Amino acid sequence: GVERGLGLGGEIAFTVAGDEHTLQVAIEPDGSLWAVFADATSGNGSYRFRFLRPGPPAADGRVNVDFNRALLPPCAFADHFICPFPPPGNTLAVPVPAGERNRLDA
């Protein structure tokens, strides 16, 4: 395969259980954001990484980070899909027991 970057263009910061965390995000042409992340459940209760599309920032720069909207990447379903891994720093030390976590047949 060929290694290439995600073209990261920003960072979102959020608080979980009183601790601040950040994720590097790519900015889509329509202004929406896209993150590839792993968490404490990755590989043990959920797929090894997931996608999150929090949407475009509001006028004040705030973004709604809703992990219930986390999605499994296409490569979770078939080996012929190529998916980016989380960039350095996008592995959360906290569990994220929300969103799509694993295939039902996995």
**String of b and e for 37-75 (b: at least 16 CB within 10 Å)?**
bbbebbeeebbebbbbebbebeeeeebebebeebebbeb
The mean pLDDT of the chain is: 90
pLDDT digits (tens, 9 = 90+) for 31-62: 889 999 999 999 998 999 999 999 788 999 89
Cα 52 from chain centre: 4
Q: What is the pLDDT of residue 5?
A: 56
pLDDT digits (tens, 9 = 90+) for 72-83: 999 999 989 999
Q: What is the pLDDT of residue 104?
A: 82
Please check the confidence at residue 4 and state whether its pLDDT lies above 70: no
105: exposed, middle or buried (Cβ count in 10 Å: 0-12, 13-18, 19+): exposed
Please check the confidence at residue 6 and state whether its pLDDT lies above 60: no
